[in-house]
């Protein structure tokens, strides 16, 4: 299903309401969370709505999609800090239920396996939030990633490092690799909301629409997922037929 809204704030309203409905129907839900610019207005709206409605988030569990290799959990550009700043510190979450990959894990391959096993121990993801990269990546599953790949270490695509430079200070080096949940864990989520906003996503969204499922454009795999909603603003949808 594709849903198109006027702008990012209308998108945020819709996604926030969907999150709240899910949490009300299942207060102990397992959420799969993403970072990035797309998610910022969504988390901001969710915080407001959750506060206004007195939503209980204390029984939720979350698993984040990805983390840069080499960044500590208190590095300002780590996804741990992103999540704390944009979501976790604003509501009464139970910190012991909030899971992120550790960018400093000594053995990142083993760490990915353990993270995937931990997620499985919680019964997998009830609701997965996804953004999409300009090259079609979801999580950091870059073009060419095998669809049967579970959580893994990835060398970031040059395009991704260029796109994400905007989040780093001038002169700082964008990490070359990351850890990410794989397409296996993402596709096992019971429900997925993929969000794309802004003109910079229009090309890849149109490609998604035109193309069959292909590893060249990782998020085309979502066409095989029975409970996925593509949530777009008009700018991201502007090249759709
Ligand atoms: C982030 C993530 C990425 C982003 C994607 C879009 O946790 O998994 O796939 O969702 O790179 O990023 P923005 O929203 O910054 O355009």
- Which tens digit of pLDDT belongs to each residue from 27-37? 999 999 999 99
Q: Please give the order of strands across the beta sheet that includes 61-64.
A: 2-5, 228-233, 191-196, 127-130, 30-33, 61-64, 98-99
Confidence (pLDDT) at 105: 97
Specify the residue for token string 């979501």: 87
Q: Which of 142, 163, 185, 233 is catalytic?
A: 142
Percent of the chain whose pLDDT exceeds 70: 100
Distance 29 CA to ligand 1 centre (A): 22
Q: Which pairing describes strands 66-68 and 177-180: parallel, antiparallel, or unpaired?
A: antiparallel
Indicate which CATH number applies to the domain containing 213. Answer: 3.40.50.1360
The count of structural domains within the chain is: 1
Mark whether 111 is an active-site residue: no
Contact criterion met (CB below 8 Å) for 179 and 187: no
Overall average pLDDT of the 149-174 stretch: 93
Q: Does 52 map to a domain?
A: yes
Distance 194 CA to ligand 1 centre (A): 10
Pocket of ligand 1 contains residue 41 by CB under 6 Å? no
Overall average pLDDT of the 186-201 stretch: 98
d(CA 18, CA 42): 11
d(CA 186, CA 194): 11
Q: Does 138 map to a domain?
A: yes
Overall average pLDDT of the 137-157 stretch: 97
Q: Please give the order of strands across the beta sheet that includes 66-68.
A: 66-68, 177-180, 152-155
Residue with CA at minimum distance from ligand 1 atom 8: 139
Overall average pLDDT of the 164-171 stretch: 90
Task: Look at residue 143 and tell me whether its pLDDT is greater than 90.
Answer: yes
- C-alpha distances (whole Å) from 59 to each of 11, 94, 125, 132, 188 are 26, 7, 14, 28, 21
Confidence grade of residue 230 (pLDDT, cut at 50, 70, 90): very high
Overall average pLDDT of the 16-38 stretch: 98
Identify any residues that bridge with 2 across adjacent strands, giving them in sequence order: 230
User: Ligand 1, closest atom to CA 200?
Assistant: 16
User: Ligand 1, closest atom to CA 33?
Assistant: 7
Q: Does 239 map to a domain?
A: no
Q: Does 31 map to a domain?
A: yes
Range of 112's domain?
2-233
Overall average pLDDT of the 191-216 stretch: 98
Overall average pLDDT of the 79-107 stretch: 98
Burial of 60 (0-12, 13-18, 19+ CB in 10 A): buried
Q: Does 241 map to a domain?
A: no
Side-chain half-sphere of 66: how many Cα atoms within 13 Å? 30
Helices (H), 87-177: 108-121, 158-164
Task: Look at residue 135 and tell me whether its pLDDT is greater than 90.
Answer: yes
Q: Does 204 map to a domain?
A: yes
Confidence (pLDDT) at 113: 98
Pocket test for ligand 1, best of 35, 197, 221 (most atoms within 8 A of CB): 35
Task: Look at residue 170 and tell me whether its pLDDT is greater than 90.
Answer: no
Q: Does 91 map to a domain?
A: yes
- Which tens digit of pLDDT belongs to each residue from 52-89? 999 999 999 999 999 999 999 999 999 999 999 999 99
Confidence (pLDDT) at 222: 98
């Amino acid at each position: 299903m594709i849903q198109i809204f006027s702008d990012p704030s209308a998108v945020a309203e819709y996604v926030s309401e969907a999150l709240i409905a899910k949490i009300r129907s299942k207060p102990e839900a397992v959420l799969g969370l993403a970072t990035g610019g797309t998610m910022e207005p969504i988390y901001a709206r969710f915080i407001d709505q959750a506060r206004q409605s007195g939503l209980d988030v204390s029984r939720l569990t979350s698993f984040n999609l990805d983390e840069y290799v080499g960044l500590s959990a208190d590095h300002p550009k780590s996804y741990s800090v992103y999540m704390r700043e944009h979501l976790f510190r604003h509501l009464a979450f139970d910190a012991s239920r909030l899971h992120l990959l550790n960018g400093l894990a000594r053995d990142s391959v083993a760490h990915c396996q353990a993270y995937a096993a931990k997620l499985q121990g919680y019964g997998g993801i009830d609701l997965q939030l996804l953004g999409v990269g300009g090259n079609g990546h979801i999580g950091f599953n870059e073009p060419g990633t095998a669809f049967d790949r579970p959580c893994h270490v990835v060398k970031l695509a040059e395009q991704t490092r260029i796109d994400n430079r905007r989040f780093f200070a001038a002169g700082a080096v964008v990490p070359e690799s990351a850890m990410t949940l794989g397409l296996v864990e993402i596709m096992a989520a019971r429900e997925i909301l993929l969000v794309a906003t802004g003109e910079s996503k229009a090309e890849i969204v149109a490609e998604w629409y035109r193309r069959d499922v292909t590893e060249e454009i990782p998020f085309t795999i979502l066409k095989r997922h029975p409970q996925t909603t593509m949530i777009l603003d008009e700018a991201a949808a502007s090249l759709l037929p």
